[in-house]
Chains A and B, each alone.
Chain A
């Protein structure tokens, strides 16, 4: 027998079969690695794109002003204080750019550097401490469009630094002529690469607090008219050229506004600071003022309602179904329907919520309580299924052991089965919550997409939620919302990752073998 077996190992056919089998093994391993590699690459791509999108929202530009606090405090109400602050800000700007401030249109152009609403937090802060009387240094965010151009993050914008060149005022005194052998070749190259119609292109060359808009450009010489500052500032210093390929008529920001912002920056009045207001402000119509605080609180309140309903109900239901319920037609019907419920599209739950909670029960629209109820219904089947799986995974021998020493059914479940199933149940609960955190569709249908300017104080207040905020910011036209959206996505992802890390931690901490 054994001789025959040995010799059959040695035959060619056996060897060939063995080789084929090994090759199949290896192939399968590579398929697996390829699948994992693909998944990781997709994840990396997603994260990289969100990060790069959100990066420019991590900081923003603020302008500092000196405000007479006494006059603000003296105002009768907040709107009076707001007007006072903004008037002072504008006066300051008019003083800084007197050339433009002669006409109403020019004044409007100058004031647009800072939006009126940006003065509101300052006005509120000053009114909150009326003891302050003197001059106060305050910082207001630069208008979002101007901010984008300063960051170099606006669409169709190229920024090129180039070396010192000779500069002289033009004959009429309104312009500057720059000259240097081959100094401007790169500008021409950069502009013509993307845009053929040179007359539409703005070439802004900045030196110090002065900016010139080029009207004539050749490789060795450039000439243009001053839109801010004086001609004397261009000589013998590093210059920066901003080529803006979109014509002024198609932009919300004029060349002059960009030049003014650059002048303020050269004066040291513009600083790039971390965008904390993204976390401390509520939603706003102005991107530079908008923040996700109301949505974060709204999401938190919503999840609170969801958790306090779905987790106890789901866990108790699963314990009953798994440990106590008789196994008959009715319970298997219930089981099938729970599984079905888990597969129902979330928007259907939104419709149900709108019809029942808003329509029949008359709960408030846009409130976390309703959102929480809808999401609780949505994740209930998920929680039940995960908890039942965790209970099923507890070996029957444990139950029998407990029953055999005279423990009641209830004691068996609560003393022996639950401690073993708890990590799995908790995992299911947290995964359910993570799903609830990311749900958008049902919240849209119950009106949580409404613009919310105040932080909700309780589950009955109007609120938004993070995914809904992402949705509404992503659908805004203004370009400045794009990085803001990315930033909120990152906030949401941070919460999700925190939850998943909690899952892994709990599983490791409580995992027990038997």
Chain B
């Protein structure tokens, strides 16, 4: 995180017991997060530091609260009726849940890619240009064209769509749509990108392309990815966190989690004994 970390006054908190020390101050630091759906608790006291410029994988059996936790990070839970989030999630020294933080601004800094590709039913160009336009990131048409091209290139889609930027984004294939969604997410220059099972609707080739892309994006962004594929988690992530029944069971470097898990449940899950 070196250069960029020097600029902001991140308060480095003591690592929760049982984690490996991080090289840098975390990009986002979650402390004692609890989430309730209409009073029913879905996340129990999760504390998880998320390092910058690396991929953090959230793994765990279905229904354990990975998506719920991910949505806490850009306050998408606000849009769910009856959902209440407790605890602190620190970004740049501020709790993102505090009333002074504008969720709209937060979401422009913490982008999200969903499980099912959801491009806007507008042109490919418009899909990318929309975010920069509403945030005033582009001065004039040329600037916007440049942003669109840059994002599509970074998402590895440029070569495939450069001649048909005016066709609807929904007319692309599933894998292309997902890359378009990633391009759309990075177009607003976020610092963090959240991905909720981004490859679950894709075939192995499209998946491989997205994984390549994630590996590339890691150099600039902090990425949090939810995945059900252990191989994928092992391939793309540097850090991993194992959730079970709403609790964070174990977190650490991916290598360590996959080679020498400390918790029995983690081991069972990774080796496919349950989940």
Contacts and interface: CB of A to CB of B under 8 A. Distances in A.
Interface of A: 326-327, 395, 397-408, 411, 415-416, 420, 512-514
A403 B79 CA distance: 9
Contact of A404 (B74, B105, B116, B119): B74
A405 B76 contact: no
A415 B121 CA distance: 11
Given A400-B76, A400-B118, A415-B130, 11 more contacts: A403-B76, A404-B107, A405-B107, A405-B108, A405-B187, A406-B109, A406-B188, A407-B130, A407-B134, A408-B104, A420-B121
A81 to B, nearest CB: 66
Contact of B81 (A327, A397, A402): A327
A397 B116 contact: yes
A420 B118 CA distance: 14
B79 A400 contact: yes
**Residue with the greatest number of chain B CB neighbours at <10 A, chosen from A395, A398, A404:** A404
A406 B181 CA distance: 14
B120 interface: yes
Contacts of A395: 118
A514 B112 contact: no
B134 A397 contact: no
Nearest to B109: A406
Contacts of A406: 104-109, 131, 134-135, 188
Contacts of A399: 79
B50 interface: no
A405 B119 CA distance: 11
Contacts of B112: 400, 404
Contacts of B116: 397
Given A326-B81, A400-B114, A513-B170, A405 B121 contact: no
Contacts of A420: 121
A392 to B, nearest CB: 15
Contacts of B181: 401
Interface in B163-203: 168, 170, 181, 184-185, 187-188
A391 to B, nearest CB: 15
Interface in B107-139: 107-109, 111-112, 114, 116, 118-121, 130-131, 134-135
Nearest to A405: B131
Nearest to B104: A408
Nearest to A416: B120
Contacts of A402: 120, 130
B121 A514 contact: yes
Nearest to B130: A405
The 5 closest A-B pairs by CB, nearest first: A406-B108, A397-B118, A405-B131, A404-B112, A406-B107
B170 to A, nearest CB: 6
Given A327-B81, A415-B130, A404 B121 contact: no
Nearest to A408: B104
Nearest to B135: A406
A407 to B, nearest CB: 6
Contacts of A401: 114, 118-120, 181, 184
21 contacts: A327-B81, A397-B116, A398-B120, A398-B121, A400-B76, A400-B114, A400-B118, A401-B114, A401-B119, A401-B181, A401-B184, A402-B120, A403-B79, A405-B107, A405-B185, A406-B105, A406-B106, A406-B134, A407-B104, A407-B134, A415-B130
Contacts of A398: 118, 120-121
Contacts of A512: 121, 168
Contacts of B119: 401
Nearest to A415: B130
B6 to A, nearest CB: 26
A397 B112 CA distance: 12
Nearest to B127: A401
Contacts of A327: 81
Nearest to A407: B134
A301 to B, nearest CB: 38
B118 A411 contact: no
A404 B127 CA distance: 13
A398 B135 CA distance: 18
A514 B171 CA distance: 9
A411 B120 contact: no
A512 B119 CA distance: 13
A408 B131 CA distance: 11
